[in-house]
Amino acid sequence: MKQIIVKRLSLLVFVLFGVTLLTFFMSHVIPGDPARMMVGQRADEETLQEVRRQLGLDQPVWVQYFTYMKGLFAGDFGKSIRTQKPVMDDLVAFFPATLELALSAFVIALAIGIPIGVLAAVKKDTMVDHGGRLFSIAGVSTPVFWSGLIGILVFYKLLGWLPSGGRIDLHIPPPTRITGLYLLDSLFTGNWAAFKNSLWHLILPAFVLSFAQLAMVTRQVRASMLEVLGQEYIRTAMANGISGAVLLFRYALRNALIPTITVVGLSFGALLGGAIVTETIFGWPGMGKYVVDSIAYLDFPSIMGFTFVIAVGYVLINLLVDLTYYVLDPQIKE
């Protein structure tokens, strides 16, 4: 166990180093002239040279990389061209909104996906099973931006049940910032109006974002439940008179969940990608919307800062998932 952690951590250092190389390459080497991009097409040669010197672009590439790394270690991703603020500050400001959305989607995917998966496995080859399968394929095939649009059409325009976007109504002051997650903050401060309103805003984007992951969870739970249900210890348990919910949930599901954790953890990257699109459609003020707005301005410091932060987060989550796997499965000990 210890060895595994040490090995994984050393690999992590290497991969993170690689991530910095790639983002450096994308921000400094591929674009013909980052200085020209910053000052625009109409700037004169003198300004261009000045900006180039300021950015250190007149230095050899390896010196540039060194400076870049020094910046990263100090949490300095440069200044956003669009907002004129340090990219790090922007990302810190927008992060909680993305976290709140992604976590809610995650919880929804598990809360709905696991029961459907179990049901599909128990009722294998019946209408329930086929329906579940069709549902999960539809989930993976639906472009997030399209399900978002359909959601807005149905629940906002047609039914008028839910708002079309934003995080909270303009006339309601957002809760005092403790964690930055509106739901938690409003609970902590006992601000019911804000809690109700932000929950109301969260429902549609969170469901839309969870859809693809929900499909994946359903599929994985079904497959591993089928495998577990065919095993001998289940038969033994049945012979001992254990049946129904106890058998399914206490005996079978516990083991079936181990592979599910890996799949769900790995799909977190897809969730982050989906968040970019979902936030854009719903005007959700998170990192995803921030980066899409930056794309329109070809604001490279913010695009690369976002890319770097997401990659680091993704690598860390994957590490965590791997480690949980070792902890949960007592059979992997060597």
Alpha carbon 54 to chain centroid, angstroms: 35
Which residue shows structure tokens 């109409």? 42
Alpha carbon 215 to chain centroid, angstroms: 16
Residue 245: exposed, middle, or buried by beta-carbon count in 10 A (0-12, 13-18, 19+)?
exposed
What is the binding site for other proteins (CB under 8 A)? 14-16, 18-19, 21-23, 26-27, 30-31, 130, 133-134, 137-138, 140-146, 149-150, 152-153, 156-157, 164, 223, 227, 230, 269-270, 272-274, 276-277, 280-281, 291-292, 295-296, 298, 300, 303-304, 306-307, 310-311, 314-315
Q: Which is nearer to other proteins, 27 or 186 (CB)?
A: 27
Smallest gap, in angstroms, from Cβ of residue 271 to other proteins? 8
One-letter amino acid at 85 equals K
Smallest gap, in angstroms, from Cβ of residue 3 to other proteins? 20
Smallest gap, in angstroms, from Cβ of residue 226 to other proteins? 8
Smallest gap, in angstroms, from Cβ of residue 22 to other proteins? 6
Q: Which is nearer to other proteins, 76 or 129 (CB)?
A: 129
Q: Which is nearer to other proteins, 146 or 192 (CB)?
A: 146
Smallest gap, in angstroms, from Cβ of residue 303 to other proteins? 5
Smallest gap, in angstroms, from Cβ of residue 277 to other proteins? 6
Q: Which is nearer to other proteins, 97 or 194 (CB)?
A: 97
DSSP 231-251: SHHHHHHHHTT--HHIIIIII
CB atoms within 10 A of CB 73: 9
Q: Which is nearer to other proteins, 14 or 233 (CB)?
A: 14
- Say how many CA atoms lie within 13 Å of 273 toward its Cβ: 9
Contacts of 185 (CB under 8 A, 6+ apart): 174, 175, 176, 177, 178, 179, 191, 194
Q: Are 77 and 305 in contact (CB under 8 A)?
A: yes
Q: Which is nearer to other proteins, 59 or 142 (CB)?
A: 142
Q: Are 144 and 274 in contact (CB under 8 A)?
A: yes
